[in-house]
Chains A and B, each alone.
Chain A
Amino acid sequence: MTSVLRAVVVGGGMVGAACADVLARHGARVTVVESGAVGGGATAAGMGHLVVMDDSPAQLALTARSLELWEDLAPSLPASAEYRPSGTIWVASDDEELEAVAPKQAAYREAGREADLLDAPALARLEPALRDGLAGGLRVPGDRVVYAPVAAAFLLERSGAALIRGKAVALDDSGVRLAGGQHLSADLIVVAGGIGSLELLPELPLRQRKGHLLITERRAPSVHHQLVELGYLKSAHASDDDSVAFNVQPRPTGQLLIGSSRQFDQPDSGLDWALLRRMLARARDFLPELGDLAALRIWTGQRCATPDHLPIVGPHPQRTTVFVATGHEGLGITTALGTAELLAAQVFGTPSALSAFDFGVERFRPEVAHA
């Protein structure tokens, strides 16, 4: 048998590109279907923060392994991917937050990532632009930043995948149908279309979660790490209400990228000025000098969230040729490479420690069964 596996990946964002790359490296002939620009959706809207997160053991394993894979990939990336060793500092506003940092540090170290506790003077020394009176923080020096649309385009090009500009409108056992009527035959279909995956697989338990980002002019206060408040974890995942958190990233141009906001089920791309004001007030509370700075651009994007904030990576329970790789919420850039490794483990039986965790569609079985 010399037949080559024909794979179609729906979605040309960071996750789709990583999946196309891994499939091609295992010998598949890959076609990617993308209706917009490569990396033009959630991939371009985000910060490109490569961050280890420890909300759950599965998330810690996925993000930590993904950071290792990014390290391996880094030497191949073009300079325009702006892969940078920024590190992250999780900022503690008060002693209570600082006390909660110790288990986080232990979890990171167990996952093979460096993490250093900072007391208040150490934090002020590393990030003098932060306001006085903060309690300290946790520095994770191995975290990184990347300009994701370039990284996605690079992986797609490296994969040698054929890129079809079109809209996938239906899946069947033998392939993918496009809006124009064209049918792409496939032995394997990977649905990696972010929130757009719902158009093909409406039974998936996905919700869109809108976010706002702002980039300042240059001459921003000097910031050396990606700075995130520890309260982010509460505000990011705690409830269905609109939320904001302090999350800023220094750009090499002397600008700051300022986030972050979360809103469920706001499908439009418009700006919510009241929420934006809250988000900026939050940022200014940590970086007082921000008040003197002008914004150059503000935009929004749609994260694709699941009920347990873990992505869905695995075979579709009812469709034998279909695999799913979506639902990465705010971590799609970080975890794209781990997602691809896990996909390869499922499709080709290659080894991955991530297989020990349940990222499958069927963990949401009641919702899936209703479809």
Chain B
Amino acid sequence: MPELMIEGRAVTVAEGTSVLAALQNAGYRTLRHSRSGEPRGALCGMGSCHECRAVVDGRIVRTCVTPARNGQRVTLLTGDHAD
């Protein structure tokens, strides 16, 4: 079972879990904020809307289409990189 770090906290998920599901299991529904300050989270859940972006191992990805892997470091988008 993969163990990943979400915002510095170790989280274990079932094999085959997406990073989005791992985030949501860990209690993150709001993943980032829009430029005007609106909360944003997963909308389509299938890679089309790009709303669920977060940083995984230094890269901005769509978390819904990113499988959770052992040792991943996941952080939320903040400041200039959020949009």
Contact = CB atoms under 8 A, between A and B. Distances in A.
A47 to B, nearest CB: 19
Contacts of A217: 53, 60, 83
Interface string A239-282: 00000000000000111000000000000000000000000000
B80 A219 contact: yes
Interface in A199-226: 217-219
A294 B60 contact: yes
Interface in B56-83: 60, 80-83
Instruction: Sort chain B's interface into a size bin.
Output: under 10
A219 B35 contact: no
B50 A219 contact: no
Contacts of A218: 80-83
Given A217-B83, A219-B80, A219-B81, A296 B35 contact: no
A254 B80 contact: yes
Looking at B53, B82, B83, which has the most chain A CB atoms within 10 Å of its CB? B83
Nearest to A295: B50
Nearest to B50: A296
B13 to A, nearest CB: 24
Contacts of B81: 218-219
B60 A253 contact: no
Contacts, number: 18
Contacts of A254: 80, 83
Interface in B3-62: 35, 50, 53, 60
Contacts of A294: 60
A163 B80 CA distance: 40
A219 to B, nearest CB: 6
A253 B35 CA distance: 8
Contacts of B60: 217, 219, 294
A218 B34 CA distance: 12
A219 B58 CA distance: 13
Contacts of B82: 218
Nearest to A293: B60
A316 B60 CA distance: 54
Nearest to A294: B60
Contacts of B80: 218-219, 254
A270 B53 CA distance: 25
Contacts of A253: 35, 83
A174 to B, nearest CB: 47
Looking at A218, A253, A297, which has the most chain B CB atoms within 10 Å of its CB? A218
Nearest to B59: A294
B59 to A, nearest CB: 8
Contacts of B35: 253
Contacts of A296: 50
A250 to B, nearest CB: 14
Contacts of B53: 217
A219 B50 CA distance: 15
A253 B53 CA distance: 16
Nearest to B83: A218
A254 B81 CA distance: 9
A219 B77 CA distance: 12
A297 B53 CA distance: 14
A79 to B, nearest CB: 12
A41 B68 CA distance: 40
B80 to A, nearest CB: 7
Given A219-B60, A254-B80, 15 more contacts: A217-B53, A217-B60, A217-B83, A218-B80, A218-B81, A218-B82, A219-B80, A219-B81, A253-B35, A253-B83, A254-B83, A255-B83, A294-B60, A296-B50, A297-B50
6 contacts: A217-B60, A217-B83, A218-B82, A219-B60, A254-B80, A254-B83
